[in-house]
Amino acid sequence: AAFCRAREFEKKKKWEESITQYEIAGMVEKAEKCRQQGAYALHHRGLIKLQKRDNTGALEDYNLAILLEPNNHQFYHNRGIAIAQMGNLKEAIENFQKALELDPKDLQTYHNLGAVYVELGEFNQAIELFSQALKLNVEDSQIYQNLGVVRFKAGDRQGAIADYNQAIKLNPNKAEAYYNRGIAHRFFGNNQDAINDFTKVLQLNPRVVDAYTQRGIIRFEMKDIQGATTDFNEAIKLNPKHPEAIYNRAVIRRLTKDNQGSLADFNQVIKIHSNYMDAYIKRGIVRFDLGDHRGALEDLDHAVKLQPQNADAYYHRANTKRSLGDFSGAIVDFENAINFNPQYHQAYNDMGIVRLRTGDISGAMKNFETAIQIKPKYAEGHNNRGFTKFRLGDISGAMKDFETAIEINPNYAEAYNNLGNSRFQTGDFQAAMSDFSETLRIHPKYVPAYNNRGLARLKLGDFSGAIADCHEALKINPNYALAHYNLGLIHTEMGDLEEAIVDYNEVLRLYPRKIDAYVNRGLIYLKLKNYSQAIEDQTSALSINPNLPHVYSFRSEGYIKLGKLKAALDDLHKAAEIYQQQGKQEEYNKAIGVIEKIGE
């Protein structure tokens, strides 16, 4: 009677009542059939609970089912699934092994036991298990697929590809095998083979989002920006919340100068995945590009918080701090980046730039040399070391570094410009002009090169060419004070003193503390016999830096012309005093000579 009631409850899907009646029936002597039916009801309900992810409930059902029917391999198999989904992988293995002991030919148990081994990182056991499964059915493409996954994770990428090949041979429409083979091809740099595999996946199933994403990444690496963008857009169309596709599209948008679009994408990625560390780094870079340096710093602070050992996060935060004038903080971050990645040559290089800014020339030199030691073909490192040597007066050493930088990167505009400056210092104005011209061939809007070429032309007596270069610089940047300054030099050399005054006026409008502009304009006023204005300009220069002996000498000339000899003598004595402190004996003697002459 209990058995019949149990069957009726089962038909009505009243599982609890059915199980209770089966249990009652199972207690009756010689009720083996009822025990089997009770176990079946528990199994049926356990399956439903597994589908609903009620793993605890499923485990309870299979525990009882096994109590009723202890030799049913399916019960152990399903209990293993419930236990695995609860995170107890070791106990799950015991259940799967028991299932195989009861039925050594159940391929599904092989698959699930192998998956647990993979999850635990026990790749050799997984490979051995799937190899045993192949002995049962050498035509099962899924076993080869599983073997490929395990071999790839174990580091045997070639073996993985061979397994995927076999899986595809057995089942030419197995999209998963093409996808995984594409991943393996990408690892080996076989980009076209990988693209072909991902394309095949999409032919078999046009809705595989990850296939679009992976193909887009490879197309991006192959510089097919349009193709990559199309793939990421398709992936996002299928899944508007796919963080990897949105992230990669954001990277492309930044590359193509669409910073606002890039920022919007990174915002979306972080909204979907609030701990996406790389998105914080990249969004920080975009914010930096947009001039939001504080916002960039916030993002990079968050990236460091998410991954305190991420060298890139420290590196980019260091450069952001540099832009904000926090040089000591920048150096600490560069050192952290290097601590977590001792081969980070860019961090050494950029730390050297910061040290240059702070006047630590020897520290900068060490940083640039380390960057070059790590990466001998590092053009920027050679350029910066050359610039440091130039600052130290080692012109020939600087030129060698600039030439090496150009040899590594023949289109390195800044290195040509620096080489030109070095040649200018040696008096080789023709070669310097050639270097500046090469700079402008590579980078037609490189303002300093126009300015520098103008100076070289001035030295060669090409006044019109020099003026044209300065005007070209100002056309690109109307507020480039150095071009106005050089125009002042050129017009002075040409004897066009009034025009030179206009030039220096413009310099001082843009840069009110430019000492040389005051000095040069004062000398012009002296030539024009405007002595009061000449004195005023030299006085302005000395108010900025009172330790310039030659400026005291210049001002004394104005005082002499105005008959203010005491003021002139005071200036000359001051000039002589500073020259003596500087150890400049010849200049000291000249100042004393003028003093003696006035005294006569």
In the block, residue with structure tokens 């620096």? 418
How far apart CA 559 and CA 538 sit, in angstroms, is 11
- What pLDDT score was predicted for residue 15? 58
* AA identity, residue 546: P
| H or E segment and range at residue 552 | helix 549-561
User: What is the 8-class DSSP label of residue 370?
Assistant: H
- Buried b / exposed e over 416-451, threshold 16 CB at 10 Å, is bbbbbbbbbeeeebebbbbbbebbbebbeebbbbbb
How far apart CA 245 and CA 222 sit, in angstroms, is 17
Give the rounded distance of the alpha carbon of 363 from its chain centre: 25
Q: Which two structure tokens, joined as six digits, stand for 579? A: 């020259």
Which sequence spans correspond to the domains of the chain? Answer: 206-307, 513-599
DSSP string, 437-477: HHHHHH-TT-HHHHHHHHHHHHHTT-HHHHHHHHHHHHHH-
SS3 479: coil
Q: Could you tell me which CATH number the domain at 206-307 has? A: 1.25.40.10
- What pLDDT score was predicted for residue 38? 78
How far apart CA 491 and CA 512 sit, in angstroms, is 21
Q: Is 3.40.50.1100 the CATH classification of the domain at 513-599?
A: no
- Other CB atoms within a 10 A radius of the CB of residue 503 amount to 25
- Other CB atoms within a 10 A radius of the CB of residue 29 amount to 5
600 residues of the chain, pLDDT tens digit each: 565 676 677 567 675 676 566 556 544 434 466 677 778 888 888 888 898 899 999 999 899 899 889 999 999 999 999 999 999 999 999 999 999 999 999 999 999 999 999 999 999 999 999 899 988 888 889 999 999 999 999 999 999 999 999 999 999 999 999 999 999 999 999 999 999 999 999 999 999 999 999 999 999 999 999 999 999 999 999 999 999 999 999 999 999 999 999 999 999 999 999 999 999 999 999 999 999 999 999 999 999 999 999 999 999 999 999 999 999 999 999 999 999 999 999 999 999 999 999 999 999 999 999 999 999 999 999 999 999 999 999 999 999 999 999 999 999 999 999 999 999 999 999 999 999 999 999 999 999 999 999 999 999 999 999 999 999 999 999 999 999 999 999 999 999 999 999 999 999 999 999 999 999 999 999 999 999 999 999 999 999 999 999 999 999 999 999 999 999 999 999 999 999 999 999 999 999 999 999 876
- What pLDDT score was predicted for residue 29? 39
Asked whether the domain spanning 513-599 has the same topology as the one spanning 206-307, the reply is yes
Between the alpha carbon of residue 421 and those of residues 108, 418, 429, 452, the distances in Å are 74, 5, 9, 7
Instruction: Identify which of 251, 212, 208 has the alpha carbon closest to the alpha carbon of residue 232.
Output: 212
Q: Which two structure tokens, joined as six digits, stand for 567? A: 């003021």
